[in-house]
Structure 1
Amino acid sequence: MSGLSAAARVRHKLGADVPDRVDIVIVGGGSAGCVLANRLSGDPATSVLVLEAGRSDFSFDPLIHMPAALPFPIGNRLYDWKYESDPEPFMNGRRVYHARGKVLGGSSSINGMIFQRGNPMDYERWASDPGMDSWDYAHCLPYFKRMETCLAGADEWRGGSGPLVLERGPANGPLFGAFFEAAQQAGYPLTDDVNGYRQEGFAAFDRNVHKGRRLSAARAYLHPVMDRPNLHVRTLALTTRIVVEGTRAVGVEYEHLGRHHTVRAGEVILCGGAINSPQLLQASGIGDAKTLEPLGIRTVADVRGVGQHLQDHLEVYIQYASKLPVSIADGLTWYRRPGLAANWLFFKRGLGATNHFEGGGFCRSNDDVDYPNLMFHFLPIAIRYDGSSPVEGHGYQVHIGPMYSDARGSVTIRSADVHVKPSLIFNYLSTDQDRREWVEAIRVARNILTQPAFTPFNAGEISPGPSVETDEEILDWVAKDAETALHPSCTARMGLDDESVLDPTSMRVHGVEGLRVVDASAMPYVTNGNIYAPVVMLAEKSADLIAGNTPLPPSDAPWYNLRAGSPLWPPTTRKTAHSEV
């Protein structure tokens, strides 16, 4: 293939026959799967096969690669698994829609491109569980640095030579300026970098956007190494069962273009995400025997934590109308969309070249929490993911929600047939903590959005509106209006207790040899922020564990800890356009 162009090599690889025996088979070509494919195939003596149920992320597909097109793949069967929860008991029986990427790159090919590592205290919490010592912040930070090229500058906290190129949102213009000024007027600081020394505060956000295009895990990790002779990728390949002999996984069965195949492997690694991975484990006889036996599934390993401890982030939009024509609404009108598309297609510029989630912040809703429990995304337009707007003309909004709710749900198969979607229940709003923090979240958001900095623009709240004021009214509105932030996780969590699924030192499934899980399901607790960056970090670290490499040495970089009395250092003195109205 040496004489072929890069694009031709990719087409050849995706259409070629694949071996029926490999060293490693990776089930799922999403965020984690792309990282592992890159790192593990770096050894020429190791043959790697990636099986992705969706199609390729073709380079000419604007619905993937144009950042502003991000709403269009969601709900489209060509890109999305289109999951839906069971009726949620604490949300008036609503079913909550869950988009999951069904395409090479997984959800990194359809997500909002917001890059958030989470708070250092997230990883201290991970490490506080038995056996999880090596997952503290000091051990995770080197892998965060290895995976990124932060264009804002490498330092103790940020990497400068990794596959993921991160551009910081400009977050300028009058509405962003008002937002950052209002946050300070409400008593919250700015921070230099929410992924650096101090997460707490408000700032421009890092994004997986580079030179006007989405930079998914597939584009960053997989496509650059697609021509390795020991790496094989098969798309449109749905894995239906893990083949287990005795107590060892020896391969998988999968469907491809209507035909059934079996591939033998020395190692099977599941990277399907927090819904697909536990579903496949259960369908293959690995899970709680009390769940499997009524479905006629022979229990291979009674691992009762499979599918349990499901966690997610729920969010709402707080929306305001604007007195002045300063939002991006005019640029997104239907008659300007051809020009927007042409500007992006030919020059990779303009409103099509940004995800629009260019800034936001993290803060505490009460004095009891040890680190920020609320995340804000600010948008200089009032609009929902489906493109609908509650106001004609101009507006603005924040996306807001608690970050580490103690609500827990589950993923449970309904059938041994993986074509049948599993039962999903998240139990949103089911705990006292969750309900308390939701009320606080709405009040904090309103406090910021009604500060004097917004006086020139504030034409009144349009969602939820002034009729929603008491605690009960707020919770009732959240139950009716909230959407998932699309961060399902923790359903095959690392740990050593009876409810855990994975050995934290190897990512192996308890009780089954030759089988590992590396994706968001492996997290013991959901992180404080979007989960794409933590998943990539987890995969980077797991690649060393799987390959037997010497782990990267822990970092001694300091980080802000309110309870430990950390100083506000480096000083947050930035006074740019973010502070100007």
Structure 2
Amino acid sequence: MNNKAPSAAHGSAETPEFDYIIVGAGSAGCVLANRLSADGRHSVLLLEAGPKDTNVWIHVPLGYGRLFKEKTVNWMYQTEPEPGLDGRTVFQPRGKVLGGSSSINGLLYVRGQHEDYDRWRQRGNHGWGYDDVLPYFKKAEDQARGADQFHGVGGPLPVSELSHADPLSAAFIEAAAETGIPKNADFNGATQEGAGYFQTTTRHGRRASTAVAYLRPAKSRTNLHIETAALAQRILFEGRRGVAVEYRKEGALRTARARKEILVCSGAYNSPQLLQLSGVGPAELLRGHGIDVVLDAAGVGNDLQDHLQVRVVMRCTQRITLNDIVNSPARKVMAGLRYAAFRTGPLSIAAGTSGAFFKTNPRLSTPDVQIHFLPFSTDKMGEKLHSFSGFTASVCQLRPESRGSLRIRSADPAAPPEIRINYLATEVDRTTNVEGLKILRKILRAPALKPYVVDEVDPGAKVSSDEELLNYCRQRGSTIYHPTSTCRMGSDPLAVVDQRLRVRGLEGLRVVDGSIMPDLVSGNTNAVIIMIAEKAADMILQDA
């Protein structure tokens, strides 16, 4: 990895200069680092607050369970007490490592619905309709099934089939079909609706983070400089132009200048945090922390959105769940040997094997709920699996109306920000979650799953009315790790970036990550963020 100090041609030893500085080597930052350095004409500095991706569990698909609360690679954020969740705080894992959250996420490759992007375009974001973004999904992709109208091959990002099929995941698809949800072989094809298997960002049974897929092929380029353990403190401005980034590494404060642009790719929490620390945000908030206001931008940190998940746990009749393997020393050793030898078996599964997308109301034009099915069970994600044979299915409302915020607590860049998501704040959100649970329970009681079900452990038979189900959502609902929209794209007064992802009212500064989404897409977010970065790279190079 090229971490050498740049030559004098790139500025002085004290203040090196690069054409582009990318802050954050996550799902978006690694894509930009590859694409912007590819032709050799531009010098690029990539800054990452976390370490290199050397933790062995990063590269094992099931390793996400081990990394869920691993401080060395995870920001370990918490929300403020959530009024809609009985005042509980909600743990918010975020990647702090090369690859960012793509190094610790659940590996599912889901793009959302065609209509999501057409809605973005209809809101004035020209160039972001489905027909506009599809070429970038295809450009990124190396699809195991081959190329077709919706998919590409030869891109950096491997998209693979489930390598560990199990009878429970197959039975879930059959059970969904028995309740009237059609089977769907490709959630990312012509339509999302239906039940089927998820595809994953893996290759040969190993995680394909953006650090693996995009950064590794580029890291030997002499025009790309990668700094890990480098925490950005603030962006420095000359007038309204972003010109440099101040960052802390090995206890020392360093500065690097950008000749062309600074690209903030720090995610839905850290991107608005860095802008606010740099004097770009709600003026009253910034002055309250003694920060000079560069731009009074009330929208920075607004419109925070996330997917809530509410899980149903079932007791299984057979010892075929991951719980049974983990709780048996002999079976655990066998699973490890199988993975070491063939890269298959239980260690190769993602955070969802099969699943479904459906409408809770027939009047809706597209699905509003996603189900993730998992052949294991636990009280809380990242904690010990249950001692009994168990499996899980969770409800996720796809397009929540609730909106939250991200605010700095102080001028200290190392202080975690104040995160308020406001889950279940609207009647639509509350109703959708309850109706989703009712439909999921029908699936779990369908004939195809009957041979595998002893009973429902959580919430259990004691919870049956709509009011009881809503209370269960409040008591047990949690994030499914998809925060977005805190530096929202648009042309209204609260929009932070324009349709080319330039920060409105400033020069030399763009935001490229999940924070720019005008609203949350109908599904998992990693594939979408990679698409956003692919599209942004083209725009940046065109504007250069």
SS in 2 for 1:72: helix
Quick check: 2:172–2:354 contact (8 Å CA) kept in 1? no
Which of the residues 28, 37, 41 maps onto 2:33? 37
CA distance in 1, matches of 2:150, 2:543: 23
- Percent identity between the two aligned chains: 41
Deviates more, 1:271-280 or 1:205-214: 205-214
CA offset digits 1:183-202 (Å, max 9, x no partner): 11101101120011111111
Q: Give the structure 1 partner of residue 449 of structure 2.
A: 454
CA distance in 2, matches of 1:51, 1:178: 45
Quick check: 1:171–1:359 contact (8 Å CA) kept in 2? no
Which of the residues 209, 215, 220 maps onto 2:208? 215
SS in 2 for 1:362: strand
Q: Give the structure 1 partner of residue 458 of structure 2.
A: 463
Quick check: 1:171–1:204 contact (8 Å CA) kept in 2? no
Unaligned runs of at least 5 residues, structure 1 = 1-9, 551-581
Quick check: 2:305–2:402 contact (8 Å CA) kept in 1? yes
Q: Give the structure 2 partner of residue 52 of structure 1.
A: 48
CA distance in 2, matches of 1:472, 1:346: 50
- Tell me the CA shift for residue 43 of structure 1: 2.7
Root-mean-square deviation (CA), in Å? Answer: 1.5
After TM superposition, the structure 1 = structure 2 runs for residues 349-368 of structure 1, keeping only pairs within 5 Å, are 349-355=344-350, 357-368=352-363
- How high is the TM-score relative to the length of structure 1? 0.89
Q: Give the structure 1 partner of residue 370 of structure 2.
A: 375
Quick check: 1:357–1:379 contact (8 Å CA) kept in 2? yes
CA distance in 1, matches of 2:164, 2:473: 28
1:69 corresponds to 2:57: no
What amino acid maps onto 1:480 in structure 2? Q
CA distance in 2, matches of 1:334, 1:454: 24
1:224 corresponds to 2:212: no
Which of the residues 256, 259, 269 maps onto 1:263? 256
1:495 corresponds to 2:490: yes
Quick check: 1:167–1:209 contact (8 Å CA) kept in 2? yes
Q: Give the structure 1 partner of residue 481 of structure 2.
A: 486
Q: Give the structure 1 partner of residue 13 of structure 2.
A: none
Which of the residues 180, 183, 187 maps onto 2:180? 187
CA distance in 2, matches of 1:202, 1:171: 18
Quick check: 1:311–1:409 contact (8 Å CA) kept in 2? yes
SS in 2 for 1:437: helix
What amino acid maps onto 2:220 in structure 1? D
CA distance in 2, matches of 1:396, 1:353: 17
- Tell me the CA shift for residue 356 of structure 1: 5.7
- Tell me the CA shift for residue 80 of structure 1: 0.4
Quick check: 2:164–2:346 contact (8 Å CA) kept in 1? no
- Tell me the CA shift for residue 416 of structure 1: 1.4
CA distance in 2, matches of 1:230, 1:195: 36
Q: Give the structure 2 partner of residue 555 of structure 1.
A: none
CA distance in 2, matches of 1:84, 1:373: 26
What amino acid maps onto 1:316 in structure 2? V
CA distance in 2, matches of 1:496, 1:229: 38
Quick check: 1:320–1:461 contact (8 Å CA) kept in 2? yes
- Tell me the CA shift for residue 533 of structure 1: 0.4
What amino acid maps onto 2:20 in structure 1? I
- Tell me the CA shift for residue 372 of structure 1: 0.7
1:161 corresponds to 2:154: yes
- Tell me the CA shift for residue 90 of structure 1: 1.5
Q: Give the structure 1 partner of residue 519 of structure 2.
A: 525
Aligned residue-pair number: 533
- Tell me the CA shift for residue 291 of structure 1: 1.5
1:276 corresponds to 2:274: no
- Tell me the CA shift for residue 395 of structure 1: 2.1
CA distance in 1, matches of 2:147, 2:314: 37
1:326 corresponds to 2:320: yes
Q: Give the structure 2 partner of residue 289 of structure 1.
A: 283
Which of the residues 384, 391, 410 maps onto 1:388? 384
Quick check: 2:163–2:349 contact (8 Å CA) kept in 1? no
CA offset digits 1:266-314 (Å, max 9, x no partner): 2100000000000000011001112111211111011110000000001
- How high is the TM-score relative to the length of structure 2? 0.95
CA offset digits 1:69-109 (Å, max 9, x no partner): 11111111101001000011121111100000000000000
CA distance in 1, matches of 2:228, 2:166: 42
Quick check: 1:170–1:358 contact (8 Å CA) kept in 2? no
CA distance in 1, matches of 2:495, 2:302: 9
- Tell me the CA shift for residue 137 of structure 1: 0.1
CA pair 45-502 structure 1, distance change in 2 beyond 3 A: same
CA offset digits 1:379-398 (Å, max 9, x no partner): 122234224345x3322221
Q: Give the structure 2 partner of residue 423 of structure 1.
A: 418
SS in 2 for 1:133: coil
- Tell me the CA shift for residue 342 of structure 1: 3.6
